[in-house]
Amino acid sequence: MHHLANVARARLGVSREIEILQKAGPAAHLNAATHRTSDGPLLIQLQGDLLERLDDDGVLAVLGHEIGHHLAHGPRGMSGVDPFFLYHILAGSRRIGHRELAAAYCRAAEITADRIGLIACRNPEAVVRMATILGGIENVWPAEWVESIRKSRMYAEAVSNRHRHAIGDSHPEVIIRIYATWLFSESDVYRALTGLGPATCSLEEIDSRLHALIGPYAAAEDRGLPPEGEPPLIDRASDVLTGAAERLREAFTKTIRNVPTRITVPRARRDNVDRADPDRDLLKEASEELERELERETSDDLERRFAELERSSNNSESR
């Protein structure tokens, strides 16, 4: 395992050590996650019997995917509010536009991490195998590469031709991840970085196809997301999300005074959420307390205004 971790580090140009943790839990409860740290070793947490179900290339794909989150979405890789954090904070909120933009960012982030996983393992079939195992469809999805790609292309193209979005919230559905992996393996960028693949399409063309499948949903756009023709999602995400966070910051700061400065937001796939995760419970409690704080502030403001109105009325009567 440590040999594979060193291979992934070398291929991705990562100097920090990698520490791999095996989380206790049911063998069938599969998941992999990285903990966001700004220094020290990179912490990658595995859950279930994932290692036993993957070959070496599959393990490299998992490690590369999690390292990819550190490289592309780590604490030093973004400015403004963390979209992953905002996505969970706004779960169930009426701010559907901001939440969906955050969710679309998360979906794009998973595709990016899959690409980095492919650069680490240099075997698209291994990335697909990882996705089907973690997504729970390995027993029903074709094991043969050509048939697997044929099915994913048929599905993605059918969805696109109907001008529909693929299913997915914080993570794209597995079939779209398979399709996106195949596309990247055919790209000019993958060829330039690894010397592999036919380089039959540009990354810009690929991203345009995927944006139509995993970008913000139209239902959210109707509630205030920027119209089509605006700058790409990644370019505008930070500004939009930062603006949303500013309106929450003052009240939320009061709520989390006694919470550790760094909160690890669970990024587990929807089918593999650890519902007993203490960080998730802490985040839920903080969000609920925030809503109560906002309600109290609104109530206090109404009482203050009523008292002023009553004093004004009394003064008028006395005159």
Q: Domain coordinates of the chain in residue numbers?
A: 79-298
pLDDT at position 105: 84
pLDDT at position 250: 53
This prediction has a pTM of: 0.66
Find the mean pLDDT for residues 57-61: 97
Read off the tokens for 18: 């990698």
pLDDT at position 272: 44
Q: Are 20 and 1 in contact (CB under 8 A)?
A: yes
Point out the least confidently predicted range of 62-76, 105-119, 155-169, 268-282: 268-282
Crossing angle (nearest 10°) for helices 96-121 and 203-214 = 140
Q: Tell me: pLDDT of 128 over 90.
A: yes
Of the spans 89-98, 168-177, 212-221, 241-250, which averages the highest pLDDT? 168-177
Q: Are 135 and 31 in contact (CB under 8 A)?
A: no
Find the mean pLDDT for residues 24-34: 83
Residue for token pair 């009325």 = 313
Q: Residue 155 and residue 173: Cα distance in Å, rounded?
A: 11
What confidence category does residue 203 fall into, taking pLDDT thresholds of 50, 70 and 90?
very high
More confident position, 90 or 131: 131
pLDDT at position 81: 54
Strands 18-23 and 42-47: parallel
pLDDT at position 253: 54
- The answer to whether the Cα torsion of 176, 182, 186, 191 is positive or negative is positive
pLDDT at position 73: 80
Point out the least confidently predicted range of 50-59, 176-185, 302-311: 302-311
What confidence category does residue 74 fall into, taking pLDDT thresholds of 50, 70 and 90?
confident
Phi-psi region of 94 (alpha: psi -120 to 50; beta: other; left: phi over 0): alpha
Q: What is the DSSP string of the chain?
A: -HHHHHHHHHHHT--S-EEEEEE-S-TT--EEEEE--SSSSEEEEEESSTGGG--HHHHHHHHHHHHHHHHHHSTTS--SS-HHHHHHHTTT-S-HHHHHHHHHHHHHHHHHHHHHHHHHH--HHHHHHHHHHHTT-TTTS--SHHHHHHHHHHHHHHHHHTT-PPSBSSSB-HHHHHHHHHHHHTBHHHHHHHS-S---B-HHHHHHHHHHHHS--HHHHTTTPPPTTSSPHHHHHHHHHHHHHHHHHHHHHHHTTTS-S--------GGG--TT-HHHHHHHHHHHHHHHHHHHHHHHHHHHHHHHHHHHHHHHHH-
Q: Residue 125 and residue 136: Cα distance in Å, rounded?
A: 16
Residue for token pair 């205030």 = 224
Please report, rounded to a whole number, the percentage of residues in the chain having pLDDT higher than 70: 61
Q: Residue 213 and residue 163: Cα distance in Å, rounded?
A: 9
pLDDT at position 40: 85
- List, in sequence order, every residue forming a beta bridge with 172; answer none if it has no partner: 168
> How high is the mean pLDDT of the chain?
76
Point out the least confidently predicted range of 28-42, 60-74, 82-96, 153-167: 82-96
pLDDT at position 292: 60
Q: What is the pLDDT of residues 147-189, one digit of tens each?
A: 999 999 999 999 988 878 888 888 899 999 999 999 999 999 9
Find the mean pLDDT for residues 207-223: 74
Residue for token pair 């890789």 = 77
More confident position, 281 or 202: 202
Over the range 160-187, which residues count as b (16 or more CB within 10 Å of their CB) and which as e? eeeeebbebbbbbbbbbbbbbbbbbbbb
Q: What is the pLDDT of residues 104-116, one digit of tens each?
A: 888 999 999 999 9
What confidence category does residue 275 fall into, taking pLDDT thresholds of 50, 70 and 90?
very low
Find the mean pLDDT for residues 7-12: 95
